[in-house]
Amino acid sequence: MLQPLRTACCIFGMWGNSTYKRTSSRDYTNVVDVEDNSALVQNNEDPEASNPSWRLSLPHILVATISSFLFGYHIGVVNEPLESISSDLGFNGNTLAEGLVVSTCLGGALIGSLFSGWIADGFGRRRAFQLCALPMVIGASISATATNLAAMLFGRLLVGMGIGVGPPVASLYVTEVSPAFIRGTYGSFIQIGNCIGLMGALFIGIPVREIAGWWRICFWVSAIPAGILALAMGFCAESPHWLYKQGRSAEAEIEFEKLLGKGLVKFAMHELSKLDRGDDTDTVKLSELFYGRHFRVVFIGSTLFALQQLSGINAVFYFSSTVFKSAGVPSDLANVFVGIANLSGSIGAMVLMDKLGRKVLLLGSFFGMAISMGFQVAGASSYVLGSGALYLSVGGMLMYVFTFALGAGPVPGLLLPEIFPNRIRAKAMAVCMSVHWVINFFVGLLFLPLLKQLGPQLLYTIFATFCMIAVVFVKRNVMETKGKSLQEIEIALLPPE
């Protein structure tokens, strides 16, 4: 029963520099750059001294990561209890109804992701977190008290809408409140939160077969972190980027002081004045994202998420139960192995993101996934028999999950808010996440029929090919953003009008 598990892991040429004129709302001069070390070198200052204390921004990041934990938890919460739920609610043996309990949450996530950009821009990042927590609390409560299938599906739909808003807003928030020198590390917290949430759901579901009605407790428990998210966000900093975009510069200064310290506020505001803010009252039209000067970055983002899904992450998790079963490994133990590989890769990404950079991790990750698929193909081959085939299949699967979590999983969610201009960032993320969910759905829908029609060798070869296409695409189109301020990235990528 790894279908919910696999879904959690899916959530996923260099441009020439050009000048772009912007109008600063304020004049900040003779100040210290908080993110651009080159400016400090020119001023004969120690670059290390430019980095604000990570302790200031960490609490805000940890609160935001609760949304990622909830995402993983709700994707995995029906994994173990599904049989008990179907028995208690009277649809035991109805595979369509069981599938709806799982997929309704994904449908809600698609709806939530479509509106996430407009919610984040209209209400602010902090309020968006609170709004996404609300349907998760209500939906979990409805599911926990459900007495029939309709109530369960309605609760799952509400929860899905909440988790659809959460991931893109978390990516926005982490990108916008993190100092450049540690932004990659903080971005990895999102993937780690997903993994911990998923493993937590699997762990709390263990007693479900021994204790009658335990599945209701599984849903009730999820309301606690959602409530904490809503309350704790009231004490967290709002994104200074969003405040500045709204013309609220004085409030942006206050938030920068919370995140960076008082001594670094002026230069942070000076850097912010370089943003492509445009008219404060102007709204971003959806058509702006599909043609003109913003098309290229939106195309890059959408393609990255599409390739993330087409590389076969759904397929690996769909087929993992069969592979482990043929190797004599129980499904519970298989969950543990896959979870450990996923979490280990995510921790590796956290350590390496700001050392090696986003582009290197993406290239290494997709290439490693292609090699892993090669092992899977070899394991399914008639030329390799017995224990050798099992080692190749199981080893290839765990290697695939590890390498996915090392780059292809966490990097797109961090990289895309970095490369999107401030003015379109939230809505562009909503569009790209919607592409993610649509491709996710169709790969999940078509995998089993294709597996039956084509066989594992050919299908996994196709996935390996997509992984190599991703390597070429990243090599040619993705810019390295490690250590760069959002303003530097925007100036480098955005062509003149």
Q: What is the pLDDT of residues 327-363, one digit of tens each?
A: 677 766 777 888 889 899 999 999 998 889 889 999 9
Residues whose CB is less than 8 angstroms from the CB of residue 407 and which lie 6 or more positions away in sequence, other chains included: 349, 361, 362, 363, 364, 365, 366
For residue 47, pLDDT over 90 is answered with no
The pTM assigned to this predicted structure is 0.78
Does 115 score more than 80 pLDDT?
Answer: yes
Q: Which residue has the higher pLDDT, 367 or 320?
A: 367
d(CA 259, CA 79): 39
The residue with greater pLDDT, 462 or 292, is: 462
Split at pLDDT 50, 70, 90, the class of 132 is very high
Q: Which residue has the tokens 């302790």?
A: 55
pLDDT of residue 475 exceeding 50, the answer is yes
> What average pLDDT does range 208-221 have in this prediction?
91
**Cα–Cα distances in angstroms (integers) from residue 62 to residues 70, 110, 143, 347, in the given order:** 13, 25, 27, 15
Tally the residues of the chain: 497
Return the DSSP state at 181.
Answer: G
* Rounded-to-integer distance, Cα 119 and Cα 337, Å: 38
The model's pLDDT over 50-93, given as tens digits with 9 standing for 90+, comes to 677 888 899 999 999 999 999 989 988 887 788 899 899 988 87
Q: What percent of the chain has pLDDT over 70?
A: 81
Query: pLDDT digit string (tens) for 236-264?
Result: 999 998 998 888 989 999 999 898 888 88
Q: What's the CA gap between 402 and 349, in Å, rounded? A: 10
Closest CA to 364 of 467, 477, 463, 480: 467
**Is residue 36 predicted with pLDDT exceeding 80?**
no
Residue 16 has pLDDT above 50, yes or no: no
Q: What pLDDT, on a 0 to 100 scale, did the predictor assign at position 83? A: 85
Q: How far apart are CA 394 and CA 365, in angstroms?
A: 18
Closest CA to 82 of 68, 95, 70: 95
Distance in angstroms (rounded) separating the CA atoms of residues 408 and 307 = 9
Single-letter amino acid code for the residue at 96: L
Average pLDDT over residues 404-414: 90
* SS3 state at 438: helix
Kind and range of the H or E run holding 416: helix 411-419
Q: Which residue has the higher pLDDT, 75 or 222?
A: 222
- Asked whether residue 19 carries a pLDDT value surpassing 50, the answer given is no
What confidence score (pLDDT) does residue 382 get? 61
Report phi then psi at 189, rounded to 5.
-60, -30
Residue 28 confidence (pLDDT): 38
| Sequence-separated contacts (24+) of 456-460 with Cβ below 8 Å | 456/319, 456/376, 456/377, 456/380, 457/377, 457/380, 457/381, 459/315, 460/312, 460/315, 460/373, 460/376, 460/377, 460/380
Q: How far apart are CA 466 and CA 373, in angstroms?
A: 11
Cα separation, 208 vs 213, in Å, equals 7
Mean pLDDT of the chain, nearest integer: 81
The fraction of the chain above a pLDDT of 90, given in percent, is: 33
